[in-house]
Each structure stands twice: as C-alpha cells, then as structure tokens.
Amino acid sequence: MSNDKDATSVESKGRRYFLIGMTSAASVAGAIGAAVPFVKSWTPSAKARSAGAPKICDISRLRAGELLEPMPAWRGKPCFIVGRTPEDVERLKTEQDDLADAASEKLDRQPAYARNPWRSRRPELGVYIGICTHLGCSPKHRSEEGDFYCPCHGSRFDLAGRVVKGVPAPDNLDVPPYSYLSETEIIIGVDEEDLAAAKDLDDAPERA
Ligand code: FES
C-alpha cells in the first residue's frame, strides 16, 4: 500500500514538472513570436536595401539621340540616360540664351561634372534624375525636338537637363553621382573618387 502511494506521488510530481516545463516553453515561444514583428521592422528588407544600392547600367545598346530603355531607377527615382549626337553636343554648347541656368550655377548639390554645357562627364552621354523640378512629374524625352518636356504644366528642359526660361520648373534636372566602369557600363550612385570604397559596401551594386 505504501509502495503504491510512493509511486502515485512520484508520478504526480513528474506530471507537475512536465506541465511547468510546457508552460515555460510556451511562454518563451510566445515572447519570441511577439518579438519577431519588431525585429522585422528594425531590419531593412532586401528590397529596401536594393532600392538604395548603386545601379550598374549597360550603355552598349544606347544609340546617339536615344534614351536608354528600360529606364533604370536609383533610390526609387527614374534615371534618364541619354545618348547625344555630335549635333546635339554642339548645340548644347552654343544655344544657351533661352536657358534659366545655363551654367548650372544655382544648385550646390550638383556634382562638379554637372557644371559644363552638357552637365555630364562626357559630352556624348547625359545622366539625369527624370523628375521635374516643378512638382515632381515625369518629363518625356522628345527625340524630334531634342529636349525633355513635362506635360503636367508645360516645363521644358534641354538635352542637358537645363530648364528653359519662363516655365514653372525652377531648376535644372538633378544630376546623380555616377561613374564609368568601362566604355560600356556606368554605375549610378557612386562618384569616381568613391569607387574603390564602394567595393567594400554591403549594398552590392545591382544591374539595371
Ligand atoms: Fe512638371 Fe509641373 S510638374 S511642369
């Protein structure tokens, strides 16, 4: 009889420990489950990281007088990459009278290579943020007219992204930082002097 009582006591003790263990495990699991959404909100998603990553663009297929398609985006902004003919290059140098800021003196945030008649590293290729400086619409490239035209309120920019006088847009199109990786590739989001350091970044460049 006494043996039976001992056995029952041991069994109920074991069950108690088991229940306590299960309750603790459930509590820990619950705490982890509750923490996951917070952790997720702290950790930027791969998509968010890649949105800010530099963008490598193949320019080998771009012809003079055309806009690179599909249009690459950098930091969520469309980028115009425009090829220029020898006539475009000459025209941008000589026809400046109707421009509001022909020498690109107004915007401090522009890179040094935005301060020439082509607002680019090389005259034959221009790289601009494709967002109108009036209220943020997307201007259209017009190859016939050789300009960018914003249909929202009629602003116009020349092929170097310089705004013409008398339109609603106050400033030239922005020039993003960019560099040549080779004769056929540029990288948007990195200046030449930062290229070596960019190779060590976590945000690996993406191909457009
Ligand atoms: Fe382009 Fe107004 S947003 S002209």
- pLDDT tens profile 158-199: 999 999 999 999 999 999 999 999 999 999 999 988 887 766
Backbone angles phi, psi at 127, to 5 degrees: -130, 120
> Could you tell me the pLDDT band of residue 44, with boundaries at 50, 70 and 90?
very low
* pLDDT band of 125, cuts 50, 70, 90: very high
What average pLDDT does the chain have?
82
Looking at residue 161, its pLDDT comes to 97
CA distance 27 to 206: 42
> Closest Cα to atom 3, ligand 1: which residue?
135
Rounded CA separation 87/90 (Å): 5
pLDDT confidence of residue 40 = 43
User: What digits encode the pLDDT tens for the residues 77-113?
Assistant: 999 999 999 999 999 999 989 999 999 998 777 899 9
- pLDDT, residue 207, reads 81
* Residue 170 near ligand 1, beta carbon < 6 Å: no
Please enumerate in sequence order all residues whose Cβ is within 8 A of that of 102, keeping only pairs 6 or more positions apart, or say none: 96, 117, 162
State pTM to two decimals.
0.74
The token duo for 164 is: 């013409």
Q: Looking at ligand 1, which atom is closest to the CA of residue 167?
A: 4
Whether 137 lines ligand 1, by a CB cut-off of 6 Å, is yes
Which of 128, 134, 147, 164, when mutated, tests ligand 1's pocket best, judged by the most ligand atoms within 8 Å of its CB?
A: 134
152 lines ligand 1 (CB under 6 A): yes
Return the pLDDT at 192: 86
Q: Which pLDDT belongs to residue 109? A: 79
Q: Give the model's pLDDT for residue 202.
A: 53
The two tokens of residue 155 are 């602003």
**CA 149, CA 163: separation in Å to the nearest integer?**
10
How many C-beta atoms lie closer than 10 Å to residue 161's C-beta? 27
pLDDT of 48 over the 70 cut: no
CA of 127 to the centre of ligand 1 (A): 20
Quote the CA–CA distance of 77 and 144 in Å, as a whole number: 25
Q: How confident is the model at residue 1 (pLDDT cuts 50, 70, 90)?
A: very low
Torsion of CA 89, 187, 103, 66, to 10 degrees: 30
> In this predicted model, what pLDDT tens digit does every residue of 5-22 receive, in sequence order?
555 554 555 555 554 555
Pairing of strands 140-142, 55-58: unpaired
**Nearest alpha-carbon partner for 99 in 46, 156, 42:** 156
